[in-house]
Amino acid sequence: MTNTTTNTEIDTDVSVNTDVKLNNSPVCVVTGGSLGIGLAVCKTFAENGYRVVNLDIRYFDVAPLHCEWVKCDVSNVSEVEKALASVAQDYKRIDALVCNAGKHVSATIEETDEALLDSIINLNIKGAYAAIKNTLPVMKAQQSGAIVVMGSDQSYVGKQNSFAYGLTKSALASIAKSTALDYASFNIRANAVCPGTIETPLFHNAIDNYVSRSGANKNDVVAEEAAAQPIGRLGQPQDVAELTYFLCSDKASFITGSLHAVDGGYTAQ
């Protein structure tokens, strides 16, 4: 499961800690960083010396230090373009980009109408497209950069009732590989992190929706999900954030164009 943007009205378009722009530390842009996996990613990069810019439609529940929030509907290409132009102007660099914004839909192809299909493609695929396209000029100019797209175990395998979501996660895997090949000569790396079942607000929303339809006991459903993982537990957002940070670090300088499962062994079965 991946993070999702949600509607929360905020009076200001930007919230930033006062010292976030006052040094020459590396800069990481995260889409959909206000909760779940995205929030863990923001915190991890900030704790490792990055200035972090979170593009999300909602504000942080609790803003991490050294993290700026820019109100942005990531499903809207022009809003992403505008936000990243502002980041480039303010910071003069973008060292890492994490395309995390996304949403999950449980439905077969027959249950997926065109409007629903458009909405998930706009956020999960076009949001990543817009973020990468508008970050690459900065990374090319500085001759360095690391990009991570947030795939899924469904970047590897299919699942029932997941037509549109699986489609988008397969597309993101392809985006990571093609971007890696097209921009390797600029010392820009691109990889996909592919989480399995991660305990996030999105996970609990999906479970709640299932429970409301089926009448099942939520505790039993959560326990079944944990038991379905070979390692015997649900993943946590920090599990994904640590791998994401590593792939953007110099320690991963020879890793590009690859998919990295963080799924407790699920896709190894």
pLDDT digits (tens, 9 = 90+) for 203-237: 998 899 889 989 999 999 999 999 999 999 999 99
Question: For residue 57, what pLDDT is reported?
Answer: 97
Question: For residue 21, what pLDDT is reported?
Answer: 54
Strand partners, 54: 30, 69
Q: Model-level pTM?
A: 0.91
203: closest CA among 195, 193, 191? 195
d(CA 31, CA 252): 21
- Is a pLDDT exceeding 50 seen at residue 265? yes
pLDDT in tens, 151-173: 999 999 999 999 999 999 999 99
pLDDT in tens, 59-99: 998 889 999 999 999 999 999 999 999 999 999 999 999 99
Strands (E), the chain: 14-16, 27-31, 51-56, 67-71, 96-99, 145-150, 188-195, 259-262
- Which is catalytic among the residues 91, 165, 183, 245? 165
As a whole number, mean pLDDT of residues 114-130 equals 98
Cβ atoms of 5 and 32 within 8 Å: the answer is: yes
Question: What is the residue-averaged pLDDT of the chain?
Answer: 92
124: closest CA among 149, 146, 147? 149
Sign of the Cα pseudo-torsion (262, 125, 117, 119, in order): positive
Q: What is the residue type of 41?
A: V
Is the CATH number 3.40.50.620 carried by domain 14-197+236-262? no
Question: For residue 8, what pLDDT is reported?
Answer: 30
- Is a pLDDT exceeding 70 seen at residue 4? no
Question: For residue 6, what pLDDT is reported?
Answer: 35
Question: For residue 12, what pLDDT is reported?
Answer: 34
d(CA 82, CA 76): 10
d(CA 61, CA 74): 18
- Is a pLDDT exceeding 90 seen at residue 18? no
Q: Residue 214 contacts by C-beta under 8 Å, 6 or more apart in sequence?
A: none
The pLDDT confidence band at residue 1, using thresholds 50, 70 and 90, is very low
Question: For residue 158, what pLDDT is reported?
Answer: 96
- Is a pLDDT exceeding 80 seen at residue 34? yes
- Is a pLDDT exceeding 50 seen at residue 7? no
Question: For residue 24, what pLDDT is reported?
Answer: 86
Indicate if 266 belongs to the active site.
no
135: closest CA among 173, 191, 85? 85
Per-residue burial over 208-223, b = 16 or more CB atoms within 10 Å of its CB, e = otherwise: eeebeeeeeeeeebbe
How do the domains of the chain map onto residue ranges? 14-197+236-262
Cβ atoms of 58 and 32 within 8 Å: the answer is: no
**Sheet strand arrangement including 67-71:** 14-16, 67-71, 51-56, 27-31, 96-99, 145-150, 188-195, 259-262
